[in-house]
Amino acid sequence: MIRYDFLDTACGALLVAIDETGLRHVDFVDGLRALPIQPEWRQDSHALAPYLAEFRAYFAGELQRFTLPLAAQGTAFQRAVWQALCDIPYGETRSYRDIAIAIGKPTAMRAVGAANGRNPLSIIVPCHRVIGRDGSLTGYAGGLPIKQALLKLEGIQR
């Protein structure tokens, strides 16, 4: 069963959903591709309390690395991209090309971009840290203003 709750942040409301193995979804409610809550999901503030505490600490500038158990589902390629995203240090950015090289697929920039766009764990798997090779802000499921705000929170000015 998936349990969920919401957290109000400076970037907007955040939906956080877990199952028995860990974090399944993190998504901005008003994002460009917001995840709809499914009828079988149950709101459970108590179960989500430790998860929301880490997000509060992140948004307060007190947490740079999450310790939450993750349960994202995706293809082997998507999981490789998501792991490479997790390897981007707080306060730093990488290009899609950098990620493609990191996973051993240097010509797969578009596929990396697609996997990045299907990331179910916004912020935890820091897809907001991926920018264009020329340093420009590129797509973000939460919308570019949220991406820019997250980068600013981490000390990156764009």
* DSSP-derived secondary structure letter, 9: E
pTM here is 0.92
What is the arithmetic mean of pLDDT over 90-115? Answer: 95
pLDDT interval class at 158 (50, 70, 90): low
pLDDT at 59 over 90: yes
Of the listed ranges 29-33, 87-91, 123-127, 133-137, the least confidently predicted one is 29-33
| 14, 27 Cβ separation under 8 angstroms | yes
What is the arithmetic mean of pLDDT over 75-91? Answer: 96
Residue 149's SS3 state is: helix
Q: Is 39 left (phi over 0), alpha (psi -120 to 50) or beta?
A: alpha
Residue 93's SS3 state is: coil
The whole-chain average pLDDT of the chain stands at 94
User: How much of the chain exceeds pLDDT 90, in percent?
Assistant: 85
The catalytically annotated residue of 81, 84, 127, 130 is: 127
Determine the angle formed by the axes of helices 109-117 and 76-86, rounding to 10 degrees: 80
**Structure confidence at residue 143 (pLDDT):** 87
Distance CA(154)–CA(64), nearest Å, equals 8
Distance CA(52)–CA(29), nearest Å, equals 15
Does 86 participate in catalysis according to the annotation?
no
Which of 51, 44, 43, 100 lies closest to 77, judged by CA? 100
